[in-house]
Amino acid sequence: MSCCAAPLISDKTRDTLSASRIALLEDLKANSKQLVDGRISYLLSAPAIHCGNCITSIEDQVGKLEGITDVRANLTMKRVAVTLDGDSRSLLPVVQALENLGYATQSLTAEEAGGSDPEFRLLVRSLAVSGFAAANIMLLSVPVWNGAEGATKELFHFISALIAIPCVAYGGMPFFRSAIAALRRRRVNMDVPISLGVTLATGMSMYESFIGGGHAYFDAATSLLFFLLIGRVLDHLMRARARAAASNLARLSAKGGFVVGEAGDLTYVALDAINPGMRLRVSAGERFPVDGTIVEGVSDVDRALVTGESDPQRVVEGTGVEAGTLNLTGPVDMLATRPARESFLAEVMQMMAAAEKGRSSYVRIADRMARIYSPVVHILAFTSFTGWMIWTGGDWHQSLTVAVAVLIITCPCALGLAVPVAHVVSAARLFANGILLKDGSALERLAAIEGAAFDKTGTLTTGEPAVASTDIPPGATAAIAKALALRSVHPAARAVAHAIDGVPEPRVSGLHEVPGHGVEGLVDGRRVRLGRRSWVAALMPEQAATDAQGVAFAIEGRGLWFTTLSERVRPGARDMITALRARNIPVTLLSGDGAAQVAAIARDIGISDWQAELKPGDKLAFLTAAAGQGRKMLMVGDGLNDAPALAAAHVSMAPASASDIGRTAADFVLTHESLSSITFAHRVAKATGQVVKQNFALAIIYNVLAVPLAMAGQLNPLLAALAMSSSSIIVVANSLRLHLLRPERAEAHGPEAGRKVKPQPMAKEAIA
């Protein structure tokens, strides 16, 4: 949000609004976000969203308002994202439009404070009531089906009516409320024909019971509600699970932090009041409140949220830390670099809520079908009623029974669930394996890739050097080298320190870092140095003529040793390249580094097609040319210079260690270090596409078979209810199969996965 943004509402308008409405608008404004182009993005909670038709109605009606540049409704999170063209626009028309459509809005703060889920409680109670009614009425119907006549049959009908009427009134409340709200606003949704079918079935049965007729469909009305509620409860549970994943991440966020004053005093401030440039003190056992950089202290940090690695990572002065990560062993001071709403944790939560955001071709198909659904259903029902009235010579009972069966059997629940259920289940499966999905349509695009391009440094490699070879003798000499290396934050020094394990720390006095040269100290009166070759060799001028290269280490009067470094290939890189080739997806390595370095890495991981010394524009040109040839490319990169290529690719991925712009441009973010998650994401995307197609096929086959039977009078309302509910349950169950996907052995437990890969030909014993 911009601190200089215009007032959300004018003083004149303020006088006409209630205090609660003013508080809502101001709360929404406080949590808004100003985009780089000056537009303002708002996020509203709309708990009444429950179906695909809701999404269509909201996006159509709100999108027509003046000043709206983008609007997206999310079925899983029950939220509406609205973007206004400037900070001078008021959000009031949007709130009013949503309320006119029947979707009361609230801020995210109120949503989080609400805690419980009243809609779920209502669904469960309604399910219990309708289940009780359906079971008992089914039992009462058995004698009727077996030929009971006269007073006995009428008695069973009246008992069934006594059970059904209150149970239908209560159990159907989730559908009736939604239908009435829609009709009041002169529109229809999928709950209108459901409510109409249930009401007509119950009303017909009551009429038949009072006149002593031969047919009553109380069992159909209650069974229809029971099976519909089963599907809706399952859908709600599945979406609640997706919302819980984002909520659990929100709990990782600290509520505030201690700001260090100029005099060293500590002042606790709320999370929203922490601004870039503030110095914060984080004690052991506390979470870092915002993204920042360590400026004082040494500690171990649990960064599993970011890297997926359970081993603690050491942080020293100059190390970057992310919001939500846990400080384990010692107090540190950090300098805040970003506000809480722009932190890595906030970014992750936004991605978790975006599984349905995209408009893939499947979603567009479902949207178009949803728009024509209600008119078609009512036309079919009216046509059936009219046709049977003509055919039977005015038998309104038979005609109405057929019309009710048509209303019931054409419920589009299966069609409405076909895409979002599959996308949400896939997003949850990916998140469990360290892959954040930013856009549901990215799954469809990832499944269609015909080639993959990778950046090198920071993507295929960790971007940090590792020891390849060393001639530092083990024991006391190696211990001195490690003591010097630990004093520096330089990546090369960290690599040397990491490679030397299991040695006692010696007494080194006068430790200090010489900028641009290295680290120096004293051991037993002798100077020791670690760093740049020319500077270190000054301690041993008689050995300075050596041709050895790399990080130099010297003990005055004793010797000069060298350690060569190489890039460390990310875990899973080789397995990932092999798997992509097995799937007939060619791989290209694009890098700005020199040809020798690129060739070495390409050879090491098995890539034959590589290009070196590329500028950002060259990578972009490569992907643009591929797109011009009709090739759908996956781009995986991490740096600021990769952002244009990531945005231009058909689909893109970035590791969590990528730059902010790189993560923003990518469709997927990989939080685990292993690149094997790329092949798992591709496998999930392919499976999701198959499941969505299967769901569409199931819904279409069901309607093609069932609707003609209902219109022909071959299905009574009870059978129609069973068929319709079964189709929805089958679609949900088919989508839930995606949750069973697990990484294959090469993706999860390959020779590189799950452990740090040591560059060859390094031998640990040579230096420790």
Phi and psi for 63 in degrees, rounded to 5?
Answer: -65, -20
Burial of residue 722 (CB within 10 Å: 0-12, 13-18, 19+) is: middle
| DSSP letter string, 301-340 | EE-HHHH---S-EEE-TT-EE-TT-EE-SS-EEEEE-S-G
Burial of residue 15 (CB within 10 Å: 0-12, 13-18, 19+) is: exposed
Pairing of strands 451-454, 587-590: parallel
Q: Does residue 708 have a cis bond before it (omega within 30 degrees)?
A: no
Closest among 599, 589, 675 to 635, alpha carbons compared:
589
Phi and psi for 430 in degrees, rounded to 5?
Answer: -65, -40
Closest among 443, 423, 427 to 435, alpha carbons compared:
427
End-to-end CA, the chain = 53
Tell me the pLDDT tens digit for each residue of 23-44: 777 777 777 777 767 788 888 8
Burial 266-290 (b: 16+ CB within 10 A, else e): eeeeebeebeeebbbbbeeebbbbb
- Does the domain at 256-352 match CATH 2.70.150.10? Answer given as yes
Cα 160 vs. chain centroid, distance in angstroms? Answer: 47
Q: Which helix (H) or strand (E) holds 540?
A: none
Q: Is 24 helix (H, G, I), strand (E, B) or coil?
A: helix
For residues 552 and 741, the answer to whether their CB atoms sit within 8 Å is no
CB neighbour list of residue 386: distance below 8 Å, 6 or more residues apart: 399
Closest among 489, 487, 525, 532 to 505, alpha carbons compared:
487
Closest among 655, 629, 631 to 642, alpha carbons compared:
655
Q: Which helix (H) or strand (E) holds 670?
A: strand 668-670
- Does the domain at 11-114 match CATH 3.30.70.100? Answer given as yes
Say what angle helices 676-711 and 361-391 make with each other, to 10 degrees: 10
CA–CA dist 498, 214 (Å, integer): 85
The confidence score (pLDDT) of residue 2 equals: 37
For residues 665 and 646, the answer to whether their CB atoms sit within 8 Å is yes
Residues paired with residue 454 on neighbouring β-strands, in sequence order = 589, 636
The sign of the torsion formed by the CA atoms of 229, 234, 235, 239 equals positive
Instruction: For the beta carbon of residue 740, count every other beta carbon within 10 angstroms.
Output: 9
As a residue count, the chain comes to 768
Q: Is 753 helix (H, G, I), strand (E, B) or coil?
A: coil
The domains of the chain are located at 11-114, 256-352, 361-418+680-751, 434-462+570-679, 463-567
For residues 610 and 591, the answer to whether their CB atoms sit within 8 Å is yes
Return the active site residues.
Answer: 455
pLDDT mean for each 10 residues of the chain (768 residues): 42 54 76 74 80 74 86 76 82 86 74 60 87 84 63 76 89 85 73 79 79 70 78 66 56 79 85 88 87 89 62 80 84 90 70 47 58 71 87 81 79 66 80 78 86 86 78 87 82 82 79 81 90 85 68 88 82 89 91 80 89 79 87 82 76 75 73 86 91 84 83 77 74 83 63 38 30
For residues 287 and 325, the answer to whether their CB atoms sit within 8 Å is yes
CATH architecture for residues 434-462+570-679:
3-Layer(aba) Sandwich (3.40)
pTM of the model: 0.59
- Does the domain at 463-567 match CATH 3.40.1110.10? Answer given as yes
CA–CA dist 334, 321 (Å, integer): 8
CA–CA dist 743, 753 (Å, integer): 11
Residues paired with residue 527 on neighbouring β-strands, in sequence order = 522
Q: Is 136 left (phi over 0), alpha (psi -120 to 50) or beta?
A: alpha
Which amino acid type is present at position 298? V
**Residue 560 corresponds to which tokens in the numbers above?**
């000069």
For residues 649 and 623, the answer to whether their CB atoms sit within 8 Å is yes
Which amino acid type is present at position 584? N
CA–CA dist 653, 668 (Å, integer): 5
For residues 687 and 444, the answer to whether their CB atoms sit within 8 Å is no
CA–CA dist 144, 67 (Å, integer): 62
For residues 328 and 299, the answer to whether their CB atoms sit within 8 Å is yes
Tell me the pLDDT tens digit for each residue of 266-320: 888 888 788 899 999 998 888 898 999 999 988 888 776 665 455 577 888 888 8
Q: Is 514 helix (H, G, I), strand (E, B) or coil?
A: strand
Q: Is 453 helix (H, G, I), strand (E, B) or coil?
A: strand
Instruction: For the beta carbon of residue 187, count every other beta carbon within 10 angstroms.
Output: 15
Pairing of strands 451-454, 33-34: unpaired
The confidence score (pLDDT) of residue 755 equals: 36
**Residue 230 corresponds to which tokens in the numbers above?**
């089963």
Burial 502-541 (b: 16+ CB within 10 A, else e): ebeebebeeeebeeeebbbbebeeeebbbbebebbbebbe
